[in-house]
Amino acid sequence: MPSLRFIVRYFEELVASAALIVVILSVCWGVLTRYVTAQPAPWAGELAVLGFAWVVFFGASACFKYKLHPSIDMLTSSLPSSAARAVRLLVHALVLGFCAYMVWFGVRFSIDAWDNPTSVLRWPLTVLYGPVTFGFALMIVRYVERLVADSRQAGA
């Protein structure tokens, strides 16, 4: 059994990878049923698309751990250090504020969507908006983690 530490550390990748496997298998199942039984399984396409939201929003949080979200530092790297610091603080506030806003939205959408079923599987649409909520909440966690680690490194 993987340790709790491992699960906490790689939580987003674990969820996103599981979702990715579901996505691949359901698309393949869709093709298979179309050719073998001539009666394509309509739920397969829907499951694949729902799974994709889990891959993307959990994965996007994992990207923060490795600084994989591209940005353009051409201008800020040439600023004097005090100005660069002020800009960095502003950027942190913007990104974190946006994530928080998305979490709040995600929660509202997830609750509202509970009575709103998907077209084939009749699952509540919460399965689509849930990963948005979780994903952006985790992004806040990973972003702050990164900030703490970076400031420790700068202090040491």
Partner 1 sequence: MLDYVPAILMFVLFALDVPIAFAIAISALSFFFIDGEIPLNIFVQKMVSATESYPLLAVPFFVMIGAIMNAAGITRRLLALADALVGHLTGALAQMCTVLATLLGGLTASSSADAAMLAKTLGVEMTNRGYSAAFAAAITSSAAIITALIPPGIGLIIYGYLADVSVGRLFLGGVVPGLLISAALMTVTHVFSRKRGYKPLRASFAGWPEVTRTFRDAIWAISIPVFIILGLRYGIFTPTEAGAITVIYTILVGFFAYRELKLAHFPKILQETVLDTSAIMLLICAASAFGFYLAWERLPPQMAAWLVTVTDNPWLLLLLINVLLVVLGTAVEGTAALIILTPIFVPVVTKFGIDPVHFGIVLVTNLTIAGVTPPVGQMMFISCSVLRVRMETFSVEVMPFLLAMFGVLGLITFVPWLSLALPNWAFGP
Chain residues that interact with partner 1, rule: CB under 8 A: 10, 13, 16-17, 20-21, 23-24, 27-28, 30-31, 45, 48-49, 52-53, 55-60, 62-63, 66, 68-76, 87-88, 90-91, 94-95, 98, 101-102, 105-106, 109, 128-129, 132
Instruction: CB nearer to partner 1: give 76 or 156.
Output: 76
Tokens of 75: 């201008």
Instruction: CB nearer to partner 1: give 88 or 123.
Output: 88
Q: What are phi and psi of 17, to 5 degrees?
A: -65, -45
Instruction: CB nearer to partner 1: give 134 or 156.
Output: 134
Q: Find out whether 139 and 96 touch, Cβ atoms under 8 Å.
A: no
- The CA-atom distances, in angstroms, between 34 and each of 22, 23, 139 are 18, 17, 39
**Closest approach of partner 1 to the CB of residue 152, in Å:** 21
Q: Which of 131, 151, 27, 16 minimizes the C-alpha distance to 85? A: 151
